[in-house]
Amino acid sequence: MTDREHEIVVYGATGFTGGLTAEYLARSVPGARWALAGRNHAKLELVRARLAEIDPALAELPLIAADAGDPASMRALAESTKVVISTVGPYIHYGEPLVAACAAAGTDYVDLTGEPEFVDRMWLGYHAQAQRTGARLVHSCGFDSIPYDLGVLYTVNQLPEGVPLRVQGFVSAGATFSGGTFHSAVHVVGRLRQAANVARQRSRREERPQQRRVRGIAGRPHTVPAAGGWVVPFPSIDPQTVLRSARALDRYGPDFAYEHYIVVKRLPAVGGLAVGAGVVTALAQLAPTRNLLLKLKDPGEGPTPEQREKAWFRVRFIARTGDQEITTQVSGGDPGYGETSKMLSEAALCLARDELPKRAGQLTPAVAMGQALIDRLQAAGIEFKVLQ
């Protein structure tokens, strides 16, 4: 793909996270061959003007007209670049045309989706084609699921090879979420039946390792002082991503198990979390109540710079093999936006520039990029360390 016009194109740059991603690239990669894409040219011009305040050279940054409803524009976008960053969600509604175009064009693709149904549908539809064309389709390259996927890989790499491993991940964060994140979450819980059906289809078709065992453990609420208090099983896309990496990479050992939890400091918060999730899930099942939920937050709304400045995340991993136990940690600042835009950008740069394993198809971040992306994120200020 050395003859492609661009290294990277940010699709959805007029949105909240897309704009932050463009700003990160503007500050971090001067002189890169990149472009902005979206359906509203006037809004793209406003984003470009904002970027030119960071780097005056970006006043000439290319703008690409592209609309998910126009297959020709998606094809032209994919064929113009080595890597596409997509920040246009909910992905279940708007994401497929660009994935299809990238799979056909042999173009690498990254997004920040936390929508399991979308990821499974894209695997069913485009994994095989992407393997043939050489495209790397890497979903969940933001707070979903980089800290967990790469954090577990980092942890596994601290332990002996060829031994059974059991890893527990514990997520703590202090942050405000955007309207786009809220809308995606409502659509996810409103489509649980459809998602389960698609997951079954994928499970029937996807090959599993024959000589190794990889399993997820549901767990239960309990206290873990080393994690910071009460922990509750957290059935997000993140443990799915970790387990897919473990199935693909022999380094995870002959028998790998993973548990995934969210940390809550006090017991009453466990009940409140469960009740709140149950209410939202129930309301999301029917169109009228789902639409009412969606009106609570506009998709373009996001936390203020002051709120993002105070935000943080920490993921601790406790890993055991035999009589050996280690604790590791991945941590950083604003998880949903500041650090997500960093993770997404560095993943795209990693695919565009770094020497990586010769793999193609739908891949997890750990399988596609692994240590190369860990190194980039550490250099960019996200901390990976062994605690004990």
CATH number for the domain harbouring residue 252: 3.30.360
Residues 137 and 187 in one domain: no
Q: Is the same domain home to 132 and 151? A: no
Is there a single domain that holds both residue 212 and residue 352? Answer: no
CA dist 89 → 181, 184, 362 (Å): 8, 7, 19
**Residue 253 or 234, more confident:** 253
Same domain for 120 and 11, yes or no, is yes
Buried b / exposed e over 352-369, threshold 16 CB at 10 Å, is: bbeebeeebbbbbbbbbb
Token pair, residue 201, equals: 């289809």
Name the average pLDDT for the chain. Answer: 91
- Going by pLDDT thresholds of 50, 70 and 90, the confidence category of residue 164 is very high
In a domain, 385, yes or no: no
Average pLDDT over residues 150-174: 96
| pLDDT for 277 | 66
Confidence band, pLDDT 50/70/90 cuts, at residue 274: low
Whether residues 325 and 247 share a domain: the answer is yes
62 found inside a domain: yes
| Mean predicted confidence (pLDDT) in 233-245 | 94
Q: Which residue has the higher pLDDT, 199 or 299?
A: 199
Residue 47: the pLDDT is 97
Query: How many structural domains comprise the chain?
Result: 2
Same domain, 30 and 42: yes
Pairing of strands 108-111, 229-233: unpaired
Quote the domain boundaries for residue 242.
146-334
DSSP state of 191: T
| Separation CA 108–CA 11 (nearest Å) | 13
pTM of the model: 0.92
In this prediction, residue 172 carries a pLDDT of 92
Of 141-150, 176-185, 369-378, the range with the lowest mean pLDDT is 176-185
Residue 300 has pLDDT above 70, yes or no: no
In a domain, 386, yes or no: no
Distance in Å from the first CA to the final CA of the chain: 44
For position 87, what pLDDT does the model report?
Answer: 94
pLDDT tens-digit readout, 345-359: 999 999 999 999 999
Length of the chain: 388
Same domain? 178 vs 261: yes
Q: Report the percentage of the chain scoring pLDDT > 90.
A: 73
* One domain, residues 259 and 300: yes
